[in-house]
Amino acid sequence: MKLLQPDTLIRNPNGLPIMASVTVNCCASRLWAMVGQFAGFDVFIPDLMHIEMTGSGVGALRTKFFRDGNCVVEQLNSRDEQAMHMTWTTIYNTLGVARLWAAIHVETLEKERSRVTWTIIAEPTEGVGPGFEQFVQGFANSALENVRRLLG
């Protein structure tokens, strides 16, 4: 009998980064207060019905429930309050995403002007047709436009 060895299904995705970015007419700390809350993405993503958290801080899991019935479970990998950035990985979903890593970062441009950048690297599950990258790009762009609308 072969000895069992450590294994995991979690792998970082390969692919080109998909980036969305908006400039908002507010201070960076106010922008970070919105987009830097791992449990609070339903504030600026209208397609999210609600989010349930398991744990807190790095390693916490969030389950995002979408209005269309889809579900996504993600783990917070890193979060830096001072640098205003965080990263996370999708570990389960019903959206046709095989692997996804994401980062969000807020930077000050001027006293009352700041920028948020959302970077996503994702791979579709086998059988997902063309248009996957456009779907991911459109989702991120729409979410950040909502942030601009809500804060600007």
* Domains of the chain as residue ranges with CATH: 18-151 (3.30.530.20)
What pLDDT shows up at residue 46? 95
Per the structure block, which two tokens stand in for 89? 């990985």
Query: What mean pLDDT is reported for the chain?
Result: 95
pTM: 0.92
Structure tokens at 136: 């991911």
Q: For residue 137, give every residue at least 6 positions away whose Cβ sits within 8 Å of its Cβ, in sequence order, or none.
A: 18, 20
Mean pLDDT for the stretch of residues 120-133: 88
Distance CA 133, CA 18 (A): 8
CA separation, residue 143 to residues 9, 13, 57, 135 (Å): 29, 22, 23, 12
What mean pLDDT comes out for the span 83-109? 96
Q: How confident is the model at residue 128 (pLDDT cuts 50, 70, 90)?
A: confident
Mean pLDDT (whole number) for 7-21: 90
Q: Is the pLDDT of residue 134 over 80?
A: yes
